[in-house]
């Protein structure tokens, strides 16, 4: 499988060339956004759409210490939870003097819209953090949906904002960062097909050449699906955000999933498939943003830089959260080490941190999500990007 990524990209290029009649020199994704504001914004709200990387605590009730969905909660965010544990959206908003809270909090079929408003009516306008763990771009059946996660897709997240406010305001700082869960879904489909094909080949039911072709077809199908998702997200940005008043819009591309600790549980031969799916999505989303008045934030390049920054991070390969400890804390209900249930408070019985882990100097909390320090580094770099745009 080691040559599948090159073969798949070559196959895709051939398909594109054929679709263009073989002579069109245009290369998808080679263009750039254009026309976004270059002046500082007078921001009153940070509006974020996406998945677990931007989740401000949607599933906190699932981490109730009393087990009844009520506070206190020992987790709730995909990071190293505990006092002072914030994700990049909160950090960036705080730097601008803005409060942002979850648009919805709940689990297992029950949820509350804008819960901050119930605590303090003055916070009613702060509930603009729409990102939810497990959410996909369009499909409501996100990761964890069957287990009780809300997984409201980005399409609906945007619709919910418009239903509440009618449109976007010039004073909204808007972020769109989504697509990672669609990669996991498509990679899972590919993996299941690959396992079946390899089993058939090993049993002598199909010849090796046919197995290689079938594997390539499976990867191309996953890539085509990611292309379609990127086009859909681009359409929502153009029609439902820009078309409904969005002025300061930052579109963030996907990180390379193969360069996270998650890749350690993926066969080495399949890791390039993960990278390719990220790249295909990013290519087609950028293509959709060509000529559009948005700014592009390159998270794939950013996380590559963070992994190489040994002065900032001493560990970029091992998750700070301990899967065995989290399994014990949750009575065996959670065995994958997800940072949603990881608390880093020293001395408490529900501390799920790995011995010796440093939430500021280790980059990853679990297989794909940043630690508190990782989120701080992300928000710092995003702030630099906004400054470079002239927005802040």
pLDDT digits (tens, 9 = 90+) for 341-359: 999 999 999 999 999 999 9
- Closest by CA to 125, choosing from 101, 105, 109, is 101
Give residue 26's pLDDT.
74
Residue 252: partners with Cβ closer than 8 Å, 6 or more residues away: 50, 175, 176, 177, 297, 299, 382
How far from chain centre, in Å, is Cα 270? 20
- Closest by CA to 219, choosing from 35, 79, 10, 382, is 10
338, 76 in Cβ contact below 8 A?
Answer: no
Give residue 7's pLDDT.
44
Low-confidence ranges of the chain (pLDDT < 50): 1-21
Give residue 363's pLDDT.
98
How far from chain centre, in Å, is Cα 288? 19
377, 360 in Cβ contact below 8 A?
Answer: no
Give residue 386's pLDDT.
98
Query: Which of left, alpha, beta for 108 (phi over 0: left; psi -120 to 50: alpha)?
Result: left
382, 92 in Cβ contact below 8 A?
Answer: yes
Tell me the whole-structure pTM to 2 decimals: 0.93
Going across the sheet that includes 248-252, the strands are 45-50, 172-177, 248-252, 295-297
Give residue 30's pLDDT.
85
Roughly how many angstroms between the first and final C-alpha of the chain, as a whole number?
Answer: 46
Give residue 11's pLDDT.
43
Helix (H, G, I), strand (E, B) or coil at 56: coil
Residue 21 phi, psi dihedral angles, 5° rounding: 80, 10
Give residue 24's pLDDT.
60
Name the β-bridge partners of 250.
175, 295
Give residue 18's pLDDT.
39
Give residue 23's pLDDT.
53
CA distances from 178 to 168, 314, 350, 356 (A): 19, 28, 31, 32
């Amino acid at each position: 499988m080691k040559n599948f990524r090159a073969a798949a990209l070559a196959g895709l290029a051939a398909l594109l060339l054929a679709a263009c009649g073989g002579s069109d020199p245009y290369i998808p994704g080679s263009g750039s956004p254009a026309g976004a504001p270059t002046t500082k914004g007078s921001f009153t709200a940070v509006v974020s759409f996406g998945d677990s990387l931007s989740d401000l605590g949607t599933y906190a009730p699932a981490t109730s210490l009393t087990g009844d969905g009520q506070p206190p909660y020992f987790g709730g965010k995909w990071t190293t939870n505990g006092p002072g544990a914030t994700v990049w959206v909160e950090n960036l908003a705080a730097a601008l003097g803005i409060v942002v809270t979850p648009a919805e909090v709940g689990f297992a079929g029950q949820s509350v819209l804008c819960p901050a408003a119930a605590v303090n009516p003055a916070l009613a306008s702060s509930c603009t953090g729409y990102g939810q763990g497990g959410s996909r771009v369009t499909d409501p059946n996100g990761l964890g949906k069957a287990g009780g996660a809300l997984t409201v897709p980005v399409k609906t997240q945007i619709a919910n904002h418009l239903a509440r406010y009618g449109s976007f305001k010039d004073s909204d700082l808007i972020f769109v960062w989504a697509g990672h869960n669609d990669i996991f879904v498509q990679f899972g489909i590919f993996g299941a097909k690959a396992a079946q094909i390899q089993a058939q080949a090993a049993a002598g039911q199909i010849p090796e050449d046919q197995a290689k072709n079938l594997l390539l077809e499976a990867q191309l199908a996953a890539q085509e699906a990611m292309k379609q998702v990127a086009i859909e997200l681009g359409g929502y940005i153009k029609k439902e955000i820009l078309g409904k008043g969005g002025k300061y819009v930052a579109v963030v591309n996907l990180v390379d999933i193969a360069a996270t600790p998650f890749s350690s549980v993926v066969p080495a031969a399949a890791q390039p498939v993960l990278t390719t799916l990220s790249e295909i999505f990013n290519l087609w989303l950028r293509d959709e943003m060509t000529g559009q008045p948005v700014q592009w934030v390159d998270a794939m390049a950013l996380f590559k830089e963070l992994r190489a920054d040994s002065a900032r991070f001493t560990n970029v390969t091992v998750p700070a959260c301990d899967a065995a400890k989290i399994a014990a804390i949750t009575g065996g209900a959670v065995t994958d080490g997800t940072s949603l249930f990881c608390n880093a408070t020293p001395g408490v019985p529900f501390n799920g941190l790995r011995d010796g882990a440093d939430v500021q100097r280790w980059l990853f909390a679990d297989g794909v999500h940043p630690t508190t320090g990782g989120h701080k580094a992300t928000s710092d770099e995003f702030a630099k990007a906004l400054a470079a745009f002239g927005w802040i």
